[in-house]
Amino acid sequence: MHPYGVGDVEKLLGLPRSTIRALIAAEFVSPARGPRNAWLFSFQDLIVLRTAQALADAKVPQRRITKSLRDLRRHLPDAMPLSGLSICAVADRVVIRERGSHWQAESGQYLLEFEGDPADGSLSVIEKKTVSEAPSGAAEWFERAMALEPENREAALRAYQQAISVDPAFLNAYINLGRLLHEASRYAKAEQVYREAMKTCGSNPVLLYNLGVLLDDMDRKTQAMEAYEAALAADPGMAECHYNLALLCEKLEKPKDAIRHMARYRALIGPRSK
């Protein structure tokens, strides 16, 4: 199963889209393709992506990262273990703990903890520290919201709103809040959140891209095109944005623009997408 889109990876792991593309190009993960040819990542992919970036941030040599990730993926379960799964550091090695036992991958540091019970379909991705009391700061509310997303989306919505109330310029909280509202088909509210974010935080490529997808789904094609084009002006390397624009231009009977954006999309993602 591949339940995570690129936007989910960005928000859950804090990885920029350029880093995700680079990790895919390095063949650390091989995501599936979903609607509109968008990348879809598995639970295993999520762990491997975060591990790769953390090891790179720790300046671990590329050859050692590759070996570590191969060992990690080989031992990861296909689904969430009933007792939960955690990845942490013991000395200079990545250690995976499962059902009270533990085993080592290659070099690494503390990354993420995954908690949940697949029997009831729940899964939380959380940071190592345990929050024993109600969050007070915007960042704490944001972390709480991300942990709640897979199991209680209404509570996650409220937590993102709390993060924004504490820090009205918290861009990622706006992006996640708008995305959840969009996924719940609460289109008008999602647009309101995105528009407010632009007023408060300014133009951001992810924000503009998400707004474009929303407007596209609302059948406001011309406005969707404007949002996509604004996103590309801020980040010309957004492959998915070029792809969506190509489809949109085709619907709006702009074949030259459709061809141009599809060509750019294919150039950005490379031959591995074929």
Where are the domains positioned within the chain? 4-126, 138-273
pLDDT of residue 169: 92
CB-neighbour burial class of residue 164 (10 A; exposed 0-12, middle 13-18, buried 19+): buried
Q: Two tokens at 54?
A: 């953390």
Low-confidence ranges of the chain (pLDDT < 70): 1-3, 54-136, 271-274
Please report, to the nearest 10 degrees, the dihedral formed by the alpha carbons of residues 179, 206, 244, 267 taken in order: -140
pLDDT of residue 143: 86
pLDDT of residue 84: 44
CATH topology of domain 138-273: 1.25.40
User: How distant is the alpha carbon of residue 149 from its chain centre?
Assistant: 12
CB-neighbour burial class of residue 88 (10 A; exposed 0-12, middle 13-18, buried 19+): middle
Q: Two tokens at 170?
A: 């918290």
User: What contacts 70, CB < 8 A, 6 or more positions away?
Assistant: none
Alpha-helical runs (H) found in 102-204: 138-148, 153-166, 171-183, 187-201
pLDDT of residue 271: 62
* pTM of structure: 0.53
CATH topology of domain 4-126: Multidrug-efflux Transporter Regulator; Chain: A; Domain 2 (1.10.1660)
pLDDT of residue 35: 76
pLDDT of residue 85: 47
pLDDT of residue 129: 39
Distance CA 148, CA 155 (A): 7
